[in-house]
Every structure is written in structure tokens, then in C-alpha cells.
A and B are shown apart, each in its own frame.
Chain A
Amino acid sequence: MFHRESGYFKTTYAADGGLYPLPIAKWTVGVLLAGFILLPTISTALSGAVSAEYYVSIVNLILIAVVGALGLNILVGYTGQISIGHAGFMSVGAYTAANLAVKLDLPFWITLPAGGLMAAFIGVIVGIPSLRIKGLYLAIATLAAQLIIEWVINHTPAISGGSQASIEVPRPTVLGHPLKTQRELYYFLLFFAVLSIVATLNLVRSRIGRAFVAIRDQDIAAEIIGINIFRYKLTAFAISSFYAGVTGVLYTYYLGIANYENFLITTSIDYLAMIIIGGLGSVLGSILGAIFVTLLPIVIRLFMESFGTLLFSASDLNNIIPATRLGLFGLLIIVFLVVEPEGLNRLWRNVRNYFRVWPFSY
């Protein structure tokens, strides 16, 4: 609609496989990034410091969810290996980082990769059954991992930091400045969210990413054309759990505490919901799914608070809001999946394709 797609000729393979197929993509990314960097400033200017803290706190939750959803999508969406144990990997990352930060007094730029690597290590071990089993069976194996990790953390004071199983971590510091407010933490989280988006975009168009897709589509065929299934399946588990571990560390720094109750099985399910709603095997889908699942309950509550009083009394409303939230959440997931089984990503593509040549579609 705004741009033309013809007339850009690529003369090398590298250019053809580039991240930005059209100049407008670069512009879009530039504008988006500028918008995100300025977001706290804009929201402060528009709504005042106190309200801005609230709006930015929602964005912060989304940013953390984006990292986790991307990681899970690499495994489930791209490689076709299901995992219900992702929250377990997150807790591995969280407790690794928390222990390093408290006991050895290490800064976040060491604890964060360390948490990721530890989760990747555990992820590889959990991934070993995937070499032999698939589908539902693998789901149960990863579910077992979730429960085992939970149990081990809970019963090892050296990891859990005592009977409370929660470790308070100091705020992350950048250049000697502790990040305390939501707006300061926002930049911290934005950095890692952008990093993981770019990393995933590049991963999936690389040799490794194509191997993942080949394994997902038909693993026997992939093996015949020379893809080392053993290596790539474990790589997928490692990378995916690395993301999960980093998500856990981000949660830990964001909340200021590592607590296993943040990472129960329901969290795993939430993340699975994100990528299924967003679109399996798509980076944009992971992001949209993370936004959708995080925002939906908040938006429903705001809506009900504003308009619910027209229909119900205030005391009933307190009961109705949470109930409708759950009900609508389930209903919307079903509606989305019926309308577009390939998720929000596909919906977005449909919209985009419609407007691409609009108003001259024929």
C-alpha cells in the first residue's frame, strides 16, 4: 500500500537470504525500535510518572514472555519436539543465577548467561529421550523433567537457599546504578528481548534452523539427506532451554526473587498457549502470542471494570471479573484456533497481504 516491492534485484545468495528483503523492512524495524526506546519517555509525558510505571510494567511482563515464547517455539514450532517442562528449565536458570548473584556476588552479565547455560545443560539431558520417542510420549518425558526439577530444587537447600525455597537477589546494576523502577528495568529487559528476537531470526534462516525444520517435517527424510538427527535434536533442546533459562533469570531480576512457585506446570502450559495462539514455527507468532496471553486478562479486566457496572452490582462484579476472564480466555483461544489454526501470525499475514496491493487488488 505504502511501498513498492518490485524493482529490487538481488545479485548474490547472501543478499537474497538477508534479514531485510525490502528497504521498507529496515525502516519499519528502525521506527519500531525508536518507538520502543522512547516508550517510557512518551508514556511518562502522556500520563505522568506514576501511571507510566504501570503501563511500562505490563510491557515488561510481555518482554520477558517474548524471550520464553521464542525459546519454546524453536523447540516446538521449528523442530517439532514437544516440551511441557519449560517452566522447569526456567527455574533452573533462575536458581543458578540467584545463587551466583548472592553467594559469589556476581553481576548480571555473568549470571544471566550462566543461568542460560545451566538450563541448556539440563535441557540436553532431558532431550535425550527425544531421540527415541515422539509426540505424546515425549510430552510425558518432559513433564517428568518438570516434576523432577521442582522436587530437586525443593529438597536441596544448597540450591533453594533454605526451607523457603526462595532467594532474594539484588537489583541488576548497570555502571554502578541499580535498576529499580519499572522504567529502568524496561531497558534492561528490552535489550535481552531484542537480542533474542534477532538471534532467533538469524538462527531459523541458518543451516541449523533449516535442519530443525527438516526434522520437524519428516525426520527420516532429514536423516537420509544427511542431517545428523542426534546432534540437531539435542541442539534444539539446548538452545530452547537456554532461552528458557534466560527467561528464568530475567524473571528473577525483575521480581527480585527466585521462587519455584513462579515456575510450576501452569507456567509451562501458559507458554505453550502463547506459541499455539501466536503461530507455531514463527518468530512474529511467538511475539504476538506473548503479547496476547499477557494482555488478554488485563484488557478484559479493564473492560469489565469500565462497562461491567452497567449490568452487575459492584460486589457481584468482583466475582464476575475473574470468572469471565478465565472463560473468555478459553473461549478466545478456541475461536482463534477455529478461525485461524495457524495462529495470530497467519492472521497478520492475511491482513498484510490484503492491504499489500490495496486498493487495486485485482
Chain B
Amino acid sequence: MTRHLARLTAAAAGAILMSAGAAIAQPKEIVIGVQCDRTGATQTVGVFFCPGVHDYTNLINSKGGVEGRKIRAMEIDHEYKVPQGMEAYERHKKEGAVSILLYGTPHTQALAAKLAEDKIPGTSPGFGSAASADGKRYPYLFPIAATYWSQAAAAVKFVKDKLGGNLKGKKIAYLFYDNPAGKEPLPILEDLAKLEGFELKTFAVPAPGVEMGAQVLDITQRYRADFVIAHLFGRSPSVSIKEFKRVGYPLSKVVSFVWGSAEADLQAAGGGAVAEGYNTMQFAGVGSDYPVHKQIRDMYQKEGKPAPKEMASTVYYNRGIFHMAVHIEAVRNALKAKGATANITGEDVKGGFEKVKGVTLDGLMPPLEITPTDHEGGGWVQIFTVKGGKLTKSSEWFRAYPEVIKKHIEADAKKS
């Protein structure tokens, strides 16, 4: 009996050793940490966003990986809670993650110092603070997509074009969710109001943002705004669409920031037909007709599976693809610099991020160019307008007033 046991143990030990040996022989797979929220306060985003991340990773792996190396996207759901986010980060670090897709504004801020200490780059598209575009001050934080400051500038540019190229004496209403993220664009809007000579009035919507009848009446009946810039989250964008519709204000005179711009918001407002004319700002392309979607569908077909249903919610799904694609490009740059079989670290991938340029996925991604000083990559957005019940592209990638934003980033850096 004892001998039997001993032999079993030896066999087991042998098996473990062999598998360890096999692991050493192959170049190690590259771990990218994915923070996610499928169950917390922003789950309506996460359930579509995260599958986009994974599908793109699987697509890259099915095509042989990056420079021959497989990518493992390790997802941890943190329920939009900061302590869980901290735990998730430590877990990713333990698993040897070379970069991390952050999710959530407070998480980004809480981890900013930690990332720099541990030398692991993290990306925060649509989260964190606009000042983190400054690569000198936040070396390991990459917003990689238009920050709220860039979105504000782009919104004003869009309004200017819509109102005939001149904003002198026009009335613009800023309808925002009354939280830090909602208030962040205010300094930019105030500056631009002076610069362009328009009148700006702000209308705060208190949490949870499902009641804004008074604000909308105020905007449309008393203030009689020429255009509305909306920056709302969660359920509130759909409520705003309904309210504007109810008082008869044309939705074509409303432009929403990126978090009020998804198909789900239109559906919650009563479907695309209700929201006809509504302008949405996007930092990744919308729709599922890009070549990358076809490749993903083909990949599923090869496995004998239908395309994932999450793909139908293209706004968030595509942001997931976009987010992961930037990481994969950064890893590719790092591998190119160090050799395909080298062990790359977070520091290498940080260098890789700072060389990301010219990845467009056939228009799904903006003409991003990340540099050691500009971690935002330009601050590009696109406007999609609801036409015939569907989000339709109504502008090319553009950005606006970079000098104003630059001024604010520099001022913010001086403050601390």
C-alpha cells in the first residue's frame, strides 16, 4: 500500500515537473489585466464592453497571437467598488500582467500612484481625470481616448458648425449629471464661451438622474437654448431624450458626451424612432460592419457558434475592441523592441504605448498617436446621429481647440 502510494506521488510529481518544463520551453503567454464591471453600478456598459475585449483578444490569438505570443486577457469584475478594484489590481500584478485595462473613474485615480510605483501601464478611456493626458506627470496612465475636456471642446466645435460657423450671442445649455465627472468639463466650456462669445448656462441633474423635467423645461422654455450639450450617465440619457421629446425640443439640437451615446440609451428612451436626430459623440466607431466584426463572426463560425449577441450593442462592444487593440499594439511594439521571445515587463509596454500610431482597424479607431507627453493620443471623436432609428456617422474623426486644452493641462500640473 505504501509503495503504491509512493509510486503515485512520484508519478504526480513527474507530471507536474513535465508540465512545468513544457511551460518553460515555450515563450510565456502575455497577461493583460482586464478590470470589468458586469454587476455593479455601470453594468449596462460592462456586459457589452467586456465581451468586445475578449472577442478581439481571441481573434488575435486565433491568428497566431502577437509576434507569435499568445495573449491572455484576465478579467476580474470589481462591481465598480474601489477596494475590489485594488484587490483586482494586486491579483493582476501577481499573475504578471504587463498592462491593465482600468475601469471606473475612482479606480483609475486610486491606482494612479500604484501604477507608477509598480511600473505597470494602465489605460482609462473615458475615465479618470482629463489632466492625466499629461504623460510627464502621469507616466503610467494612458487615457488613450478623448477625455472630458477634449469632448467638451469637440462638442463646442460641433455646435459651432451646426449653427453656421459663428457662436457670437448664441445660447448654449450644458446639461450635466451632478457628480465630479459631470463637472469636469466646466472650465473648458467657460473658457470657450469667452473665446467664441456664446452664452453658457449650466443645468445640473442630481443623482440618480431619472428626474429632469424641471431642467429640460428651464432649458427649452425659459432659457430657450440654441443648442444643448448633455453629459449624463446611466439611466439619465434616456430620460433626457424622453423629456426633450415631450416638450417638443428638436433632438437634432442636442449633442451628448460619450456615456450617453449607446444603443441601449436610445432603446430605453423608447427606440431609435423616438430619438431621431439625437447627436452622439463617440471615441470608437459605431456599427458592426467594420472588417474586424466580420473576422470575429468568421472566428465564431469556424467554432460552429453563432456570433455573440453582445455584438449588437455596437457602441460599447466596439469600445472594448478599441481598448484591447491599443493594448495589443503596445505589446506588439514592446515585443518588436525587445525581441519576440523576450520577457517583457510593464516598463517595456509603457514604451510600446508611447509608440502607438496608425492603428485604425479600418476606421473603427481614431487616428491615434500616443507620445511620451501626450497620453491621450490626440483627443479624437466622431459624431454619430440617429437617422432612421439608427446611429449613422455624420462626421469624420476630428478634434478641436487643442491649445485651450493644453493650457488647462499645464495649469493643472502647476497646481499640485
CA distance A255 to B179 in the complex (A): 21
Q: Which residues of A contact B59 (CB under 8 A)?
A: none
- Closest 9 pairs (CB-CB, A-B): A322-B77, A54-B94, A57-B90, A261-B106, A163-B183, A165-B180, A255-B110, A322-B39, A256-B113
Q: Using known A-B contacts A61-B83, A164-B180, A322-B77, determine if residue A315 contacts B109 with beta carbons closer than 8 Å.
A: no
Residues A61 and B87 in contact, CB atoms below 8 Å apart: yes
The residue in chain A whose Cβ has the minimal distance to the Cβ of B73 is: A318
- B82 contacts which chain A residues (CB < 8 A)? 255, 259, 261-262
Interface residues of A in 127-163 (CB under 8 A from B): 154, 160, 163
Decide yes or no: A180 and B106 within 8 Å by CB, A164-B184, A259-B82 being known contacts.
no
Q: Which residues of B contact A261 (CB under 8 A)?
A: 82, 105-106
For residue B28, CB closer than 8 A to chain A, the reply is no
Please give, as numbers and ranges, the residues of chain B lying within 8 Å of A154 by CB-CB distance: 178-180
User: A326 near B: Cβ within 8 Å?
Assistant: yes
B38 close to A315 (CB less than 8 A): no
Which secondary structure dominates chain B's binding surface? helix
Residue among A163, A260, A322 with the most chain B CB within 10 A? A322
**B54 contacts A318, CB within 8 Å?**
yes
Number of A-B contacts (CB under 8 A): 107
A346 at the interface (CB under 8 A from B): no
A323 to B86, CA, bound (A): 20
Residues of the B chain whose Cβ atoms lie less than 8 Å from the Cβ of A160: 180
Taking the nearest CB of chain A, how far is it from the CB of B316, in angstroms? 14
Contact A315 B186 (CB under 8 A): no
Cβ–Cβ < 8 Å partners of A164 in chain B: 109, 129, 180, 184
Residues of B in contact, count (CB < 8 Å): 43
Nearest opposing residue in chain A for B416, CB measure:
A168
Complex CA distance for A323 and B38, rounded to whole angstroms? 8
Query: Does A182 sit within 8 A of B, measured CB to CB?
Result: yes
19 contacts between A and B (CB under 8 A): A50-B96, A54-B94, A57-B86, A58-B87, A61-B87, A163-B180, A163-B186, A165-B180, A168-B113, A254-B86, A256-B114, A261-B82, A262-B82, A294-B83, A297-B84, A301-B76, A318-B36, A322-B79, A326-B39
Nearest chain B CB to A140 CB, angstrom units: 17
Can you list, as one digit per residue, whether each of B284-319 has a CB less than 8 Å from chain A (1) or not (0)?
A: 000000000000000000000000100000000000
B338 within 8 A of A: no
Q: Mark B23-49, 1 if CB is under 8 A from A, else 0.
A: 000000000000010110100000100
Q: How far is the CA of A322 from the CA of B75 in the complex (A)?
A: 10
Q: Which residue of B lies closest to A60 (CB)?
A: B86
Asked if B81 is an interface residue, CB under 8 A from chain A, the answer is yes
Q: How large is the interface on A (under 10, 10 to 19, 20 to 34, 35 or more residues)?
A: 35 or more
Which residues does A use to contact B, with CB under 8 Å?
50-51, 53-54, 57-58, 61, 64, 154, 160, 163-166, 168, 171, 180, 182, 251, 254-257, 259-262, 266-267, 294, 297-298, 301, 315, 318-319, 321-323, 325-326
The interface residues of chain A lying within 8 Å CB-to-CB of B129 are: 164, 166
Q: Are A322 and B38 in contact (CB under 8 A)?
A: yes
Which residue of A51, A163, A266, A298 contacts B87 across the interface (Cβ within 8 Å)? A298
Q: Mark B124-168, 1 if CB is under 8 A from A, else 0.
A: 000001000000000000000000000000000000000000000
| Interface assignment of B102: CB less than 8 Å from any CB of chain A | no
Q: Mark B176-195, 1 if CB is under 8 A from A, else 0.
A: 00111001101100000000
Contact A256 B50, beta carbon cutoff 8 Å: no
Residues of A within 8 A of B38 (CB): 318-319, 322-323
A166: contacting residue among B39, B58, B81, B180, CB under 8 A: B180
